[in-house]
Amino acid sequence: MQIKPSIRSNIFTNSHPLGCQAYIHSLFKEASFFSPFEGPKNVLIIGGSSGYGLSSRITLAVNAKANTWNVSFESRPKGERTGSAGWWNNIFFQQEADRLGTYHKDFVGDAFSQSMKQEVIENLKEKNVKIDLIIYSLAAGARSHPQTGELVRSTLKAIGEPVEGKTIDIAERSIKELVVGAASEQEIQDTIFVMGGEDWEDWVKQLSQAEVLNEGVKAISYTYIGSKNNAKIYREGTIGRAKDDLEKHGKSIDDYLKKSHHGEGLISVSKAVVTKASVFIPRIPFYVSTMFEVMKKHGVHETITQHKHRLFADMVYGSKRLVDDQGRIRIDHYEMQPDIQKEIQTLSDAYENEKIFQLEGTQQFIDEFYQINGFYLPGVDYEQDVDLEHLATLEPR
Ligand code: NAI
């Protein structure tokens, strides 16, 4: 069957397996040009099938020759359903990584669950492996309550007053006016529960108690600060509260790992990039399009893999760590330069209508959105039938 892009409200409802294969190949190829660095030997990535978790996994596997364990929540192909992009990313990651001569393991299931934590710990014990780096890179819409089993959902809402704004409808190539409602207290608490740091700390402590962490182990998670361009929907909204909580747990993980393993807990403030989680956030498509335009013009644009390579090579394992007064790693410093932010604001104001589609930054934003789901990849013949039945026999390892 032929597979054509299917998008609803800026969310892909399908993926192209052969496009995902080409995408993963391109990320490995890109990483092969980056410099090697002395890093961790064994890395556990929670949320490593796409976005920041995937790019972290690739640069650590390629440039630091690390072994990786990845936990992700992805859907397999079934009948006419293609499966999610992350499903194929896991499979094709393994195929590319075969050439590295290192060990890579995938667990597909719910990272929030106790059974998944247990499964990972058992595998590490069986292999007699101790972890040097834990990356917590989940972007989740819901989390089951560990005690009650109730499914709690996160929301992307404003706090206090509703916020009016515009976003890009990618499938229709149009601008949509939107009002982002004000969250109730319950919605704020629920978003903190899903996207905050409690589960991260739980992972770290359980791994430590199971004695599968190495001396000097590091744990890192990714936050976003942004600027007044996107503050109302991001840092001052429900997701911002969850990030405050993540950062608070980061401090407590830091204290814990320092005492237990002479290790450290880290928060990296990362830049805005195109991922399935970010595109879905109202206004972010506008912001990222104009940000691409401005950062490229000033020669400070980085791809997602470059960004994570610089994070680990320079700031986590290297000697060029930039931290703010709260101890957070500020790898987002190019995006946050005042003159860059000012220019993004001016451009957003001038182009806050259909003119946005004239910008190269917007074209790049749209292309990347298709590419992370396996479409628009050079060299892939999208008119060809895809043998989904055969591909469905491939399993993550
Ligand atoms: P993404 O949507 O590309 O990746 C999310 C990952 O979480 C996937 O591997 C997915 O399978 C996994 N996941 C979700 N629910 C799960 C569950 N219940 N069990 C196991 N795995 C699950 O998201 P993205 O954007 O890479 O986000 C990762 C982190 O980076 C998030 O904390 C996000 O806030 C942060 N971040 C993202 C930025 C961006 O611009 N995309 C900027 C700064 C920080």
Atom of ligand 1 nearest to the CA of 288: 40
Ligand 1 mean position, distance from CA 52 (Å): 7
Name all domains of the chain by residue range, CATH numbers in brackets: 7-391 (3.40.50.720)
The number of angstroms, rounded, from the C-alpha of 302 to the middle of its chain's C-alpha atoms is 15
The catalytic position among 23, 136, 224, 234 is 234
Q: What is the pLDDT of residue 166?
A: 84
Instruction: Report helix, strand or coil for 254.
Output: helix
Q: What is the pLDDT of residue 146?
A: 85
The number of angstroms, rounded, from the C-alpha of 221 to the middle of its chain's C-alpha atoms is 10
How far apart (Å, rounded) are the C-alpha atoms in residues 21 and 91? 8
Does 154 sit in the ligand 1 pocket, CB within 6 Å? Answer: no
Which residues in 157-176 are b (16+ Cβ under 10 Å) and which e? bbbeeebebbbbebbeeebe
Instruction: Report helix, strand or coil for 146.
Output: coil
Q: What is the pLDDT of residue 165?
A: 82
Active site residue 234: yes
Q: Mind listing the pLDDT tens digit for each residue in 264-322?
A: 999 999 999 999 888 888 888 999 999 999 999 999 999 999 999 999 999 999 999 99
- Residue whose structure tokens are 């796409």: 50
Q: What is the pLDDT of residue 352?
A: 83
DSSP class of 245: H
Q: What is the pLDDT of residue 45?
A: 99
Residue stretches of the chain with pLDDT short of 70:
none
How far apart (Å, rounded) are the C-alpha atoms in residues 280 and 275? 9
152 class by beta-carbon count within 10 Å (0-12 exposed, 13-18 middle, 19+ buried):
middle
Residue 345 and residue 351 in contact, taking contact as beta carbons nearer than 8 Å = no
| Inter-CA distances, 90 with 57, 275, 353, Å | 11, 16, 38
Does 139 sit in the ligand 1 pocket, CB within 6 Å? Answer: yes
